[in-house]
Structure 1
């Protein structure tokens, strides 16, 4: 079926069910950013394949909301589908809630599958329908009724992450959560976000492509833990571990019925952004609710000493692989056929050689020339092109090693390129280094510092339509809350920088139809000097790969920029050269030379 035919089938079901508007988000039952094939309902109904977006289908309109990372991609993929692209945060573009408020009228019904809609979003829909005298149906998965060959839920096995990697036992983490529950006056704590659950239980799996996570729900009580999961995924080691620490295993979908059985008088700690609307709606009226962010979110974002030690190792491994890769691409681009896809495969081969490589940590972005202007472009056989001299090649990829997760972007200059490309490359390098060299007072959030990564671009009328950086999980989600780097306020992303957090620093320039440039390092948040003005903090770059000097124009930089670049390249050489042979070392010396 075409997208138009699918939407018409959906509308027929909407009419049968008395639904006037139907919301299809990008989510699973756990509010995951990236989802397994079974949950790609928004992709199925609109044809848009990006990782973020929400569709709203009415009886006479179809609209898709997505953010600036995907404007170019979405416009191409929605062409001819009858689905209108809503460019989020652009002037004159209503939010989803604003659109629903203006669309729903008295007697209308808003429908959605409450398992894939976050509690907070569902509460927002409640307010709209009440004010418009409309109603809600949240127990309807209409997409499932028309998706004939829908993939099944994953059956892949889970595995244990030992303390030599996790740095803390599951029992210790559970006790920390219970202490937080006591402070909140809660006796139950229901967790639906699978990265939080996997972190607590030191469990990993393979239920979402690239992300070592396991579909599950968890309820922490003062006298035990209930884990809702497909038990066939658990090996004997995990079962024994769970039995020892008081984790009882239940069928995956029983969480909904069991939620209804929570005794009156209990108090449940829930996170409106991380619990689905269906579970929330099943909480009995006699149960008090404490609505706060899951404590696991901050606990796991502040890496412990063992995790930091391991993630440094992972970064060294990936940096060595990248240096070898950079040399290979630049030296062979014209002498052998290197395509976007074959280049990406080569990088993973080099990572494999470093040992303890598990898998890529997200879908690779391997983009040449104008493809690089699409922030989240993914090369496929039908779009794969050969790399050639005369433009730039952007690789935004990550590795999951047992020692941790990496997220790294480099842009390589291939042969002679235009002065404009070189200027843009230099500006992006300046933006990255200015942020990485920031010293700031404890209490700062990403919105305080984001200007450091944009000032050089803003002064020239340039910008990039995405955040500057995000937290990184330890073999969990590649985008990890609660802290990010962005200039625009976004609820949930405004927690202050804490010691031990690891974030990305990834400014860029994207010129549609021409080129894209992004340079991304990971930064460790560290404590600095404390004096009468307060506690100062700083970032430590833990990614060690050259910024391609073939794209640097020193005349565009000021003396501080040149100093930052030379200091960073000196660090790169010190960290990486011990792992290279003589030829590779000399090549690295050339690409980390002082300018």
Structure 2
């Protein structure tokens, strides 16, 4: 948090007669997790959540974020000049509505256009125009104030072996060029870091938890241009890229390159990921929008990616088995490791596995009331001590060369109360309902989301987050466009599930100050049956780790739900049992016992 920078920013607004300044969480690539260089909102406000927007006026400093971060934001902003504004709908531009309703006609709102997508800017301009408010996106007022701003990362990039990718770089580029040509275009501008990494079979470490690198890519009908800092690419990799007709260009020259494209060229862009600043450089060229060629190909996992995902799940299951056994032993011996200690232990156990790369997001280890903070992240200094009673929520994931994992388990550390059993069992019923769903091709996320919520809804209960998100193959743990959401404002709610999509399935329930419950597996969309009634799909569960039965209220489960749970545990024991022995195998057998 920088109070001095807030004061300096307000002076700049006053001098330039600007009514408000918007600071998003974005980088120029619209990434979910961003390099430290672009963490402007976090630096100024002190709010560390991965989603949120800061709005500064002469009298207000407001952080807008959604229900996943309410408790966290309240704690981090307490006693500061920054005020939490609770979004009613995740990702909705409610701060824009507030500005439109509270600023007078003729007011100027400023922002850095590099951090807003074309799509975002168009929406803002349209909303402001109705109120006579002007938007100026030519001003970076915060950058000059951040004196000790981190540099852009220069970590080396590396090749992802075709063994893991399933398709070579040349094969992917050839397929993409066919689609570019079919769309009537000569070039395709790709701004999304995950899309670039997947298409080129390259990975990096510029962004925490996601193995990507800062770059732009333009693919033409004969060659491609990768805009990246040259120090990040070894000479041998440069030669390999050149063999595939990929030329290296300086990252900073993307503006100039776009400006030199001619009126004879026609470029395909994604208005949701291309920054408005970069869009303005394409003034001479014809532009086509509305297609997500790489994103949609990346989301549908090929046979090799699925095979390696399953390998990653087995490794992750063994690592978690060892970490949870360690926790149980520590508590039994009278020790009280902290939430932070347990997060470190999980990471250490994963690091022992072959082809481990990193965690896939900051581990959420929430003991009792901390578990109700949906995106809680324990710090070394402030983490709670875990006691041999209460409830512990563990949401964590890893990056392996094989694939990306994401799992949540909630466990009872003592004898659970009746209310805790009920809430836990309702969440499990929802998770099983979605896992067991059979549905027609074309079914969208919002339809399936309701299945996971129905057991809670029957008791007039709910949770304030989506039920699931797409997951990348050694890429982003949150991969668009598919998933399960109760809102039609996001792609997760409106995208039809396809064979090869991998999603998380993670319903939950939260009592602020008391406990949080969430159970999460990753599931793969696969064919079920095609007949005269249509093409039916269903899910295969990928995650392999026991679900706590100590918290269950068995009387709330029906026969099919009991059968599902027992069958799942039988499979977990079969898959992981061959990888462990002795006391570890005995522990696994106990956790996978039939109910």
Q: 1:246 to 1:69 in 2, by over 3 A?
A: same
Partner of 2:331: 333
User: Cα offset for 1:94?
Assistant: 7.7
Distance 2:255 2:126 in 1: 24
Structure 2 counterpart SS, 1:232:
helix
Q: TM-score, normalised by structure 1?
A: 0.96
- Root mean square deviation, CA, Å: 1.6
Partner of 1:435: 434
Count of residues in Structure 1 that have an aligned counterpart in Structure 2: 592
Structure 2 counterpart SS, 1:181:
helix
Q: 1:168 to 1:42 in 2, by over 3 A?
A: same
User: Cα offset for 1:102?
Assistant: 1.8
- 1:368-416 CA deviation, whole Å, 9 max, x = no partner? 1111110111111231122111111111111111111101111121122
For residues 117-136 of structure 1, what are the structure 2 equivalents within 5 Å?
117-136=116-135
Residue 65 of structure 2 corresponds to residue 49 of structure 1? no
Structure 2 counterpart SS, 1:171:
helix
Partner of 2:18: 19
Contact 2:66 2:89 survives alignment (8 Å): no
- 1:246-294 CA deviation, whole Å, 9 max, x = no partner? 111111111112211110132211111111110112211x422211142
Partner of 1:551: 551
Contact 1:326 1:412 survives alignment (8 Å): no
Residue 67 of structure 2 corresponds to residue 63 of structure 1? no
Distance 1:161 1:232 in 2: 19
Q: Which runs of 4+ in 1 moved over 6 A?
A: none
Distance 2:478 2:413 in 1: 30
Distance 2:437 2:89 in 1: 30
Distance 1:237 1:540 in 2: 40
User: Cα offset for 1:4?
Assistant: 4.1
Structure 2 counterpart SS, 1:115:
helix
Distance 1:83 1:240 in 2: 50
For residues 541-580 of structure 1, what are the structure 2 equivalents within 5 Å?
541-580=541-580
Partner of 2:495: 495
Distance 1:473 1:32 in 2: 14
User: Cα offset for 1:320?
Assistant: 1.5
Contact 1:447 1:488 survives alignment (8 Å): yes
- 1:408-448 CA deviation, whole Å, 9 max, x = no partner? 11112112232222222222221111110111111111111
For residues 30-109 of structure 1, what are the structure 2 equivalents within 5 Å?
30-89=29-88, 95-109=94-108
Q: 1:128 to 1:156 in 2, by over 3 A?
A: same
Contact 1:104 1:129 survives alignment (8 Å): no
Partner of 1:324: 322
Partner of 1:247: 246
Q: TM-score, normalised by structure 2?
A: 0.96
Residue 315 of structure 2 corresponds to residue 306 of structure 1? no
For residues 174-573 of structure 1, what are the structure 2 equivalents within 5 Å?
174-284=173-283, 286-335=284-333, 336-493=335-492, 494-573=494-573
Partner of 1:585: 585
Contact 1:22 1:112 survives alignment (8 Å): yes
Distance 1:128 1:488 in 2: 21
Distance 2:580 2:26 in 1: 43
Q: Which moved more, 1:398-407 or 1:137-146?
A: 137-146
Distance 1:172 1:231 in 2: 25
Contact 2:20 2:110 survives alignment (8 Å): yes
Structure 2 counterpart SS, 1:579:
coil
Distance 1:105 1:40 in 2: 30
